[in-house]
């Protein structure tokens, strides 16, 4: 196989046999109440695991205040550990490597998702923000939010640390910190959503503090070799914008480089959260630029096809490429790419929530043609 995607690569202490990663994908099929993974989720990950293949779990809620989409799994309670252990065991049985994506929705939530019906939390209260959440009433506009007090921000870092610890108990191979797509960490990073005047707001150094403290906390649990960070420098999903994204993300990538994390996962331009973004006003920032300041393993995601993924790795811009939507509809995606088999189309209507339909019923290629 001379396709560059099938050249082994190191990821922290792990040797991956191919460079086709499964991107983190929120599917909202955890068991309720309790938001723990059940048998259905274990089957879904099992189907997508491959020998020496890398999977990042769907965004997993680190604190009871962090849920924005009913059905997202959590890692804020010990009772959520056994369900995750089943998922991890299934992936390991296939020879795969799986990291847990740690996430807090921040202002992209709703009072119906919050403990005691209180307001969702954010760095700052910003007028004009229009987000969405998924509650028992379906997709609804995000409710008004409130700003975290400084001591609460410190407490939130600790929630991320505890979640990282539970992830370890579940047997994951590492954690990925979700710093993208307009959720809490991204809200702290970008000045369109962070208007604080304490040590978590204002300068780039201050706005990056929350992410970097969480990263250090995760490293204290896992060691730097088993911690990755995901950033979306170009994304506007969740009402994100910054006055100088180039300076911000260059600073953050350089700081993460100094911490020596296992990998940096970047969402490329042209993707708006979970769909194509045809608008021309995106910042054309991502792997090609941040490669200059981040010297570790780089994972790129966003709108890739097998051919464009191979060229990006070939030119040395990324070490791995993560596929999102094609991994939904092609459980055996690495094998299909290896063999040159056609890729199945995905059905958007079943992305979020529901049953096995559009989740575990996409067949592998051999089965489809048998």
Ligand X SMILES: Cc1cc2nc3c(=O)[nH]c(=O)nc-3n(C[C@H](O)[C@H](O)[C@H](O)COP(=O)(O)O)c2cc1C
Catalytic (active-site) positions: 183
CA separation for the pair 24, 34 (Å, rounded)? 21
Q: Assign 15 to helix, strand or coil.
A: strand
107 binds ligand X (CB under 6 A): no
DSSP-assigned letter for residue 145: -
Judge residue 25's burial from the number of C-beta atoms within 10 Å of its C-beta, 0-12 exposed, 13-18 middle, 19 or more buried: buried
104 binds ligand X (CB under 6 A): no
179 binds ligand X (CB under 6 A): no
Q: Which position among 52, 64, 71, 303 is part of the footprint of ligand X (CB under 6 A)?
A: 303
Q: Output the smallest distance, CB 349 to ligand X, in A.
A: 11
Comparing CB distances to ligand X, the nearer of 25 and 214 is 25
C-beta nearest to ligand X: residue: 324
DSSP-assigned letter for residue 142: P
30 binds ligand X (CB under 6 A): no
Closest CA relative to residue 334, chosen from 48, 141, 117: 48
297 bridge partner residues: 263
99 binds ligand X (CB under 6 A): no
Q: Using CB under 6 A, which residues numbered 124 to 143 contact ligand X?
A: none
Site size toward ligand X (CB under 6 A) is 23
Segment contacting ligand X by CB under 6 A, of 23-31, 32-40, 125-133, 292-300: 23-31
Q: Which position among 19, 29, 48, 325 is part of the footprint of ligand X (CB under 6 A)?
A: 325
Closest CA relative to residue 215, chosen from 171, 265, 267, 286: 265
Closest CA relative to residue 304, chosen from 271, 329, 331: 271
333 binds ligand X (CB under 6 A): no
Segment contacting ligand X by CB under 6 A, of 40-48, 138-146, 254-262, 267-275: 267-275
Segment contacting ligand X by CB under 6 A, of 137-145, 154-162, 279-287, 301-309: 301-309
Q: Which position among 36, 80, 114, 181 is part of the footprint of ligand X (CB under 6 A)?
A: 181
**Mask 226-255, x = binds ligand X (CB under 6 A)?**
----x-------------------------
Closest CA relative to residue 213, chosen from 149, 150, 160: 160
Say what the alpha-carbon torsion angle 230, 100, 181, 259 is, to the nearest 10 degrees. Answer: -30
In sign, the C-alpha dihedral spanning 35, 40, 43, 47 is: negative
Task: Give the chain's radius of gyration (CA, Å).
Answer: 19
Contacts with ligand X by CB under 6 A lie at 23-26, 58-59, 101, 178, 180-181, 230, 267, 271, 274, 301-304, 323-326, 351
């Amino acid at each position: 196989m001379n396709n560059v995607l099938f050249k082994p690569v190191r990821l922290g202490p792990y040797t991956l046999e191919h460079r086709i990663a499964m991107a983190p994908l929120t599917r909202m099929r955890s068991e309720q109440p309790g938001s723990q993974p059940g048998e259905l989720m274990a089957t879904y990950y099992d189907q997508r695991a491959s020998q020496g293949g890398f999977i990042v779990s769907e965004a997993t809620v680190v604190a009871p205040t962090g849920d924005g989409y009913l059905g997202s799994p959590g890692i804020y309670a010990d009772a959520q550990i056994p369900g995750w252990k089943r998922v991890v065991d299934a992936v390991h049985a296939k020879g795969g490597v799986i990291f847990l994506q740690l996430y807090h929705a921040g202002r992209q939530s709703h009072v119906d998702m919050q403990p005691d019906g209180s307001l969702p939390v954010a760095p700052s209260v910003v007028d004009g923000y229009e987000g969405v959440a998924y509650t028992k009433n379906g997709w609804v506009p995000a409710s008004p939010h409130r700003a975290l007090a400084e001591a609460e921000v410190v407490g939130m870092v600790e929630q991320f640390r505890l979640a990282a610890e539970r992830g370890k108990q579940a047997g994951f191979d590492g954690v990925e910190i979700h710093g993208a797509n307009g959720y809490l960490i991204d809200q702290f990073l970008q000045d369109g959503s962070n208007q604080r005047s304490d040590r978590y707001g204002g300068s780039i150094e201050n706005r990056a503090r929350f992410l970097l403290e969480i990263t250090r906390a995760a490293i204290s649990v896992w060691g730097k070799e088993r911690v990755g960070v995901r950033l979306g420098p170009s994304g506007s999903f969740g009402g994100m914008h910054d006055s100088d994204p180039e300076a911000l993300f260059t600073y953050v990538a350089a700081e993460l480089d100094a911490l020596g994390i296992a990998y940096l996962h970047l969402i490329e331009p042209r993707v708006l959260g979970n769909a194509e973004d045809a608008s021309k006003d995106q910042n054309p920032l991502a792997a090609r630029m941040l490669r200059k300041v981040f010297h570790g393993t780089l994972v790129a995601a966003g709108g890739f096809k097998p051919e464009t993924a191979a060229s990006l790795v070939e030119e040395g811009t990324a070490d791995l490429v993560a596929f999102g939507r094609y991994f939904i509809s092609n459980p055996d995606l690495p094998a299909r790419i290896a063999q040159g088999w056609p890729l199945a189309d995905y059905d958007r209507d079943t992305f979020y929530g529901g049953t096995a339909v559009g989740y575990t019923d996409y067949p592998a290629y051999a089965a489809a043609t048998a």
